[in-house]
Amino acid sequence: MPKKSAVKDYIRTIVDFPHEGIMFRDVTTLFADPRGFRMAIDQMLHPYAGERIDKVVGLEARGFILGGAIAHQLSVGFVPIRKKGKLPGRTLSQDYKLEYGEAIVEIHEDAIQPGEKILVVDDLLATGGTASAGIKLIERLGGEIISCCFIVDLPDLGGRKALEELGMDVHVLCEFEGE
């Protein structure tokens, strides 16, 4: 087995999942390897050394894994953005478009205070729909997003461009061409 020297080396590709023609980029193999996971968290944190971050927001579901680890390293709070109906307190909702249909994500309405500096985290950036919805929720609460950080970007799907058009700084660790 070849030595793994980059985050991308730890990510496996599963062909035709969840549908035929999809090349699924599976980060669970990265999470399962202590060296790979540490490398990913360190690289996700690196661009923000010395920046004020008050909270890390993780997008459901793999963003929770990354966001929790990053928040721990920064000694700041973690806020989940979840699918509709999963949070127990009073929430704000935001709908967004999926490849086939629509979905809704929510955040607790008291999770972020106006002016707090927020880092948005998820595993994969595809079309940017979930991240855009999360950004809208954070901004509705008065949070100031300093950046959006992902392990994988699928540039052919245009998510990075969509987030940058919203004025977001976007940091990714690796890219995979195609869908």
pLDDT at 179 exceeding the cut of 70:
no
Confidence band for 17, pLDDT divided at 50, 70 and 90: very high
Name every residue whose Cβ is closer than 8 Å to that of residue 123 and which is 6 or more positions away in sequence: 27, 62, 63, 65, 66, 150, 151, 152
Asked if residue 43 belongs to a domain, the reply is no
179 carries an active-site annotation: no
Residue 69 belongs to a domain = yes
Any domain includes 18: no
For residues 21 and 43, the answer to whether their CB atoms sit within 8 Å is no
Residue 156 covered by a domain = yes
Residue 67 lies in a domain: yes
Q: 97 is in which domain, residue-wise?
A: 51-175
With contact defined as beta carbons under 8 Å apart, do 41 and 165 qualify?
A: no
**Count of domains observed in the chain:** 1
Active site residue 62: yes
Q: What is the DSSP string of 57-124?
A: EEETTHHHHHHHHHHHHHT-EEEEEEETT--SS-EEEEEEEETTEEEEEEEETTSS-TT-EEEEEEEE
Mean pLDDT of 154-158: 95
Q: 12, 35, 52, 99: which is the annotated catalytic residue?
A: 99
Report the CATH number that the domain containing residue 109 is assigned in CATH.
3.40.50.2020
Residue 72 has pLDDT above 70, yes or no: yes
% of the chain beyond a pLDDT of 90: 92
**Single pTM value for the model:** 0.95
| pLDDT (mean) for 154-167 | 96
Active-site pick, 62, 82, 106, 160: 62
What percentage of the chain reaches a pLDDT higher than 70?
98
pLDDT for 77 beyond 70: yes
Residue 94 lies in a domain: yes
Residue 2 resides in a domain? no
